[in-house]
Structure 1
Amino acid sequence: MNERLSGGCQCGRIRYTVQVATDDAYLCHCRMCQRAIGNVSVAFMNAKKAEVIWSREPERYQSSPIASRGFCAACGTSLTFEFPDSEQMDLTVASFDTPGRFRPTHHFGVESRHEAWLDTRDLPDYRADQHDSLVDRWMKTLGTLPD
């Protein structure tokens, strides 16, 4: 598989395309990623920097002395993790237009992993499009539900 995929931030200000050779991705549980993303883990897929074409460059935050993170300053979407001296970078899986195509192949930063969040399949499921007050808010505001 060698395919060009697209993605971007929530508001659409920053878009990208990237040549992808695999559906492999991974979950990072390190404390730096947890704090940067504001979640218990983040799903990343690794790509060559040269293969990423930006509609506009994301803003970058020097998140440590050895790495930076790309994001949209308008909506706050996290887009990348990068070592400046590497030819590779990580793109957040959820920022892709088709995030469901990727499959996790490993965990990283497991010393900070929150085990209770790994297997949640026995928890009850609730659909956003069947939550009446939420649907009413969207319908009153937009007349439709968002993607």
Structure 2
Amino acid sequence: MSTSNIASCSCLCGAVSLGATNLNHQIAACHCNMCRKWGGGALLAVECASEVTFSGEENIEIYQSSEWAERGFCKKCGTHLFYRLKQNHQYYIPAGLFDSSEAFVLEHQIFIDEKPEYYSFANKTKNMTGAELFAQFSPSDQSQ
């Protein structure tokens, strides 16, 4: 596989680098209470499937945020590195980490029902409530 097909990104201090070969250029904004508490605002994330590689893995700390998902961050600088679904190891990487973001488009917003009134994105997007999102999954997966 050519490295030109790998989208690269890194944490603030450079201790952790990531590479993704299968990313979706449509950014999703998650407004759930947990994502907002994790990062101080909506999580703007890029879906990267499970083909993500890491350099500096010894600097990654994993936080088990729910039964079905975990969040990774750099132990040295605290940069949020990923949100990962445990069942299929699907990664969502914060859009701001990528070295190049010209091809990204804010396409949809989830947990729109939990978005506070004090901010709003100007982009026209598809919007889903938490209930609409969870309706796509089996009943056993209905927790954040």
Give TM-score scaled by structure 1 length.
0.72
| Structure showing the higher helix proportion among its residues | 1
Partners of 1:3 and 1:21 within 8 A in 2: no
Summarize the alignment of residues 20-31 of structure 1 with structure 2, pairs less than 5 Å apart: 20-31=22-33
**1:85: which partner in 2?**
87
Measured at CA, do residues 117 and 91 of structure 1 come closer, stay the same or move farther in structure 2, by a change above 3 Å?
same
Say if 1:61 and 1:21 are closer, same or farther in 2 by CA, change over 3 A. Answer: closer
Which residue number corresponds to residue 45 of structure 1?
Answer: 46
Worse-matched range after superposition: 13-22 or 103-112: 13-22
Question: How many residues were matched structurally?
Answer: 118
| 1:69 alignment counterpart | 71
Query: 1:21: Cα distance to partner?
Result: 4.9
Letter in 2 for 1:11: C
Q: CA offset at residue 20 of structure 1?
A: 3.6
Contact 2:18 / 2:53 at 8 angstroms: preserved in 1? yes
Q: 1:87 to 1:62 in 2, by over 3 A?
A: closer
Runs of 4+ displaced beyond 2 Å: none
Aligned partner of 2:14: which letter? G
**In 2, distance between residues paired with 1:34 and 1:84?**
20
Instruction: Report the Cα distance in structure 2 between the residues aligned to 1:26 and 1:89, rounded to whole angstroms.
Output: 13
- Paired AA for residue 82 in structure 2: T
Tell me how far 1:87 sits from its aligned partner.
Answer: 3.8
Correspondence list, 1:124-135, <5 A: none
CA contact (8 A) 2:23 2:47 kept: no
Q: Cα distance, 1:48 vs. partner?
A: 1.8
Q: Which residue identity does 1:91 align to in structure 2?
A: I
Q: Which residue of 2 aligns with 1:35?
A: 37
The answer to whether the 8 A contact 1:25-1:103 is kept is: yes
Amino acid at match of 2:53: I
Q: TM-score, normalised by structure 2?
A: 0.73
- The change in CA–CA distance for 1:20 and 1:14 in structure 2 (over 3 A counts) is same
| Structure 1 position 42, deviation (Å) | 1.1
Q: Where in structure 1 are there 5+ consecutive unaligned residues?
A: 121-147
CA distance in 2, matches of 1:87, 1:119: 29
